[in-house]
Amino acid sequence: MKAVVLFPKDRKVKVIDVPEPRLGSPTQVRVRTLEVGVCGTDREVARGEHGRAPEGEDYLIVGHECLGEVVEVGGAVKDLKPGDLVVPRVRRPCPSERCTPCREGHADFCVTGEYTERGIQGAHGFCAEFFVEDVRYLHRVPRELREVAVLTEPLTIAEKSLRQVKLIQQRVPFKGEQASHAVVLGAGPVGLLGAMALVRAGYQTTMYSHSRKPNKKAELSEALGVPYVSSEEHSVKELVKQRGQADVVYEAAGVASAAFKLLEGLAPNGVFVFTGVPPSEQLDVDEGALMKRVVLDNQVLLGTVNAAAEDFDAALEDLRHFQSKWPGPLESLITARHPPEDYAEVVDGDKKSGVKDIIVFPRG
Ligand SMILES: [Zn+2]
Ligand SMILES: [Zn+2]
């Protein structure tokens, strides 16, 4: 079968022919890949900055954001049948007995770092015509989400974040229906999906992103009813003056300097959620003043990565809601669909489109 693979040794992404995977246990499911999303993590993997091939192999099948169709199920699989649409989770637990999160079904909180991630860390991904996966890592997708379900995985970042913010904010007494203000930093796919989830969760939401208006991402943001403020035109001080302080900041830009500047706009008792993985950057920060503010304002700085089963379920539920509330903008997040042969150029940026690029496997 056709697969998009990375040879880590020479940092080359190629389309090659690999053996088709077969069912290896009664709880496994064979899936035909329909679509695979490409994101910043894939870019890092392709550049050899992150990720590794499976033990003993010289290449890694890439791709972790996937929508597929079940073609065969093992004898013990009751909940899925051929023809069902599915999205797979990404991370698989580490083998350590002392890793309670992995043993309790929360590999997203693994403490040993010995987990694997399909398409990223030591396990083949989904950018191939077929893959085999244990049923416990698959989520059934309602038919009506066929066109957008490839966005499930990037949306789980927001779902996991909001679940944690909710837990944290139980510490603060609120009076009645006090509306909270959220600021999303960065209007890429993760930021725009995060904005949708924040609006859905009841936050008055503002998008704060680099590019000046007009631009495609600003248009999309405003189509959601989320005002777009350009950080090139407006400082954090001006942002706060226009829109108020942020009770929640959802950082989705992966740029440390932009994130730490926005920390100035965080309200007392606020939560600042970091989701991006920035390149190394030396910042001009007054750490003393920063620490003083975080302490005196009871603020929480929260880092979050990967997502658990419940976050995938929540994402699928939210996608259904987004589709009825914002059908146009949701589908417009996917700005281009490409054949597998274009993967290297998509990930390099030569063929990158406006917002979200998707690799499509034609039924062959
Ligand atoms: Zn991704
Ligand atoms: Zn673990």
Task: Please give the distance, rounded to the nearest whole angstrom, from the Cα atom of residue 153 to the centre of ligand 1.
Answer: 7
Q: Of the bound ligands, which one is closest to the alpha carbon of residue 277?
A: 1
Q: Which residues contact 299 (CB under 8 A, 6 or more apart)?
A: 266, 268, 269, 270, 271, 272, 293
Query: Residue 174 C-alpha to ligand 2 middle, in angstroms?
Result: 36
Q: How far is the CA of 157 from the centre of ligand 1 (A)?
A: 9
Cβ atoms 321, 200 nearer than 8 A:
yes
287: Cβ contacts below 8 Å, ≥ 6 apart: none
User: What's the total number of domains in the chain?
Assistant: 2
- What's the rounded mean pLDDT across residues 327-346? 96
Region 164-185 average pLDDT: 87
pLDDT at 351 exceeding the cut of 90: no
Q: Is 120 helix (H, G, I), strand (E, B) or coil?
A: coil
Are 70 and 8 members of one domain? yes
Query: Which of 303, 324, 352 is where one domain is finished?
Result: 303
Residue 41 domain-assigned?
A: yes
**Domain membership flag for residue 322:** no
> Which pLDDT belongs to residue 177?
59
Phi, then psi, of 20 in degrees rounded to 5: -75, 135
CATH of the domain at 87: 3.90.180.10
Instruction: Determine the average pLDDT of the residues in 285-304.
Output: 96
Domain of residue 237: give its range. Answer: 155-303
Judgement on whether residues 142 and 194 belong to the same structural domain of the protein: no
Ligand 1 centroid from CA 297, angstroms: 33
DSSP string, 143-209: GGGTTTGGGHHHHHHHHHHHHHHHHHGGGS---SS---EEEEE--SHHHHHHHHHHHHTT-EEEEEE
Q: Does pLDDT of 107 surpass 90?
A: yes
pLDDT tens per residue, range 13-30: 999 999 999 999 999 999
Mean pLDDT of 147-170: 97
Length of the chain measured in residues: 364
Q: How confident is the model at residue 338 (pLDDT cuts 50, 70, 90)?
A: very high
Same domain, 71 and 208: no
pLDDT band at 178 (very low <50, low <70, confident <90, very high): low
- Rounded average pLDDT over 135-151: 98
Examine residue 317 and state whether it is found in any structural domain, yes or no.
Answer: no
Question: Does one domain contain both 140 and 160?
Answer: no
Ligand nearest the Cα of residue 190 is: 1
Task: Answer whether residue 350 shows pLDDT above 90.
Answer: no
- Residue 329 placed within a domain: no
Tell me if 25 is assigned to some domain.
Answer: yes
pLDDT-derived band at 332, boundaries 50, 70, 90 = very high
CA of 166 to the centre of ligand 2 (A): 24
- Res. 175 pLDDT band, cuts 50 70 90: low
Average pLDDT of span 108-131:
98
Judgement on whether residues 31 and 49 belong to the same structural domain of the protein = yes
Supply the pTM of this predicted model.
0.96
- Tell how far the Cα of 154 is from the centroid of ligand 1, in angstroms: 6
* 117 and 178 co-located in one domain: no
User: Which pLDDT band, with edges at 50, 70 and 90, does 352 fall under?
Assistant: confident
Give 363's pLDDT tier (boundaries 50, 70, 90): confident
Averaged pLDDT, 99-108: 98
Question: Does residue 55 have a pLDDT over 90?
Answer: yes
Q: Does one domain contain both 137 and 165?
A: no
Tell me how far the alpha carbon of residue 104 lies from the centroid of ligand 2, in angstroms: 10
Looking at the predicted structure, is the pLDDT value of residue 126 above 80? Answer: yes
Among the bound ligands, name the one nearest to the CA of residue 305: 1
The answer to whether the CB of 353 falls within 8 A of the CB of 220 is no
Q: Is residue 321 part of a domain?
A: no
* Residue 72 forms part of a structural domain: yes
Q: With 80 as the cut, is the pLDDT of residue 353 above it? A: no
CA of 64 to the centre of ligand 1 (A): 6
97 alpha carbon, closest ligand? 2
Same domain, 144 and 159: no
Q: What is the CATH number of the domain that holds 251?
A: 3.40.50.720
Residue 364 has pLDDT above 70, yes or no: no
pLDDT-above-70 percentage for the chain:
98
pLDDT band at 207 (very low <50, low <70, confident <90, very high): very high
**Domain end point (choices 280, 303, 326):** 303
pLDDT for 222-277, tens place per residue? 999 999 999 999 999 999 999 999 999 999 999 999 999 999 999 999 999 999 99
Domain co-membership, 138 together with 179 = no
Mean pLDDT of the residues in the chain? 96
Question: Quick one: 160 and 294 in the same domain?
Answer: yes
* Residue 324 within any structural domain of the chain: no
| Dist. CA 277–CA 190, nearest whole Å | 12
Which of 62, 68, 66 is CA-nearest to residue 14?
Answer: 62
pLDDT band for position 218 (cuts 50, 70, 90):
very high
Q: Among 260, 286, 303, identify where a domain stops.
A: 303
Same domain, 289 and 227: yes
Whether residue 224 sits in one domain with residue 101: no
